[in-house]
Amino acid sequence: MQISPSILSADFANLQSELDRIANADWAHVDVMDGHFVPNLTLGLPVVEALAKVSPIPLDCHLMIDDPDRWAPMYAEAGASSVTFHIEAASDPRALARTLRQAGARAGMAIKPGTAFAPYEDLLSDLDMVLVMTVEPGFGGQSFMADQMPKVAQVREAVQRMGGETWVQVDGGVSATTIEQCADAGADVFVAGSAVYGAEDAAAAVDELRALALGHAH
Beta bridge partners of 133: 171
Q: Which one is catalytic: 26, 31, 34, 128?
A: 31
Is 66 annotated as catalytic?
no
Query: Using CA atoms in the order 121, 74, 134, 40, what is the torsion angle rounded to 10 degrees?
Result: -140
Closest CA to 149 of 193, 110, 180, 107: 180
Angle between the N-to-C axes of helices 45-54 and 68-77, in degrees from 0 to 180, rounded to the nearest 10: 30
- Return the DSSP state at 114: T
Q: What is the pLDDT of residues 31-82, one digit of tens each?
A: 999 999 999 999 999 999 999 999 999 999 999 999 999 999 999 999 999 9
Report the C-alpha gap between 135 and 12 in whole angstroms.
Answer: 22
Q: Which residues, 6+ apart, have CB-to-CB distance to 147 below 8 Å? A: 113
Which is nearest to 167 in space by CA: 48, 49, 29? 29
Task: Please count the residues of the chain.
Answer: 218
**Within a 13 Å sphere around the CA of 172, how many CA atoms are in the beta-carbon half?**
22
Bridge partners (DSSP) listed for residue 59: 28
Query: What predicted TM-score, i.e. pTM, was given to this entire model?
Result: 0.97
Domain locations in the chain as residue ranges: 2-214
Q: What is the CATH number of domain 2-214?
A: 3.20.20.70
State mean pLDDT over 178-185: 98
Q: What is the mean pLDDT of residues 157-178?
A: 96
What pLDDT does residue 141 have? Answer: 77
Position 218 scores a pLDDT of 61
Q: Is 207 a catalytic residue?
A: no
Q: Which of 26, 34, 60, 171 is catalytic?
A: 171
- Angle (CA) 162-167-171 rounded to 5° is 135
What pLDDT does residue 139 have? 79
From the list 93, 155, 88, 139, the residue with the least C-alpha distance to 115 is 88
Q: Are 36 and 86 contacting, i.e. CB atoms less than 8 angstroms apart?
A: no
Residues contacting residue 121 through CB under 8 Å, at least 6 positions apart: 158
On whether the CB atoms of residues 87 and 67 are closer than 8 A, the answer is no
Quick check: 153 and 185 in contact, CB under 8 A? Answer: yes
Q: In what order do the strands lie in the sheet with 189-192?
A: 2-5, 189-192, 167-171, 129-133, 106-111, 82-86, 59-64, 28-33
User: What is the tens place of the pLDDT at every residue in 102-133?
Assistant: 999 999 999 999 999 999 999 999 999 999 99
What one-character DSSP code corresponds to residue 204? H
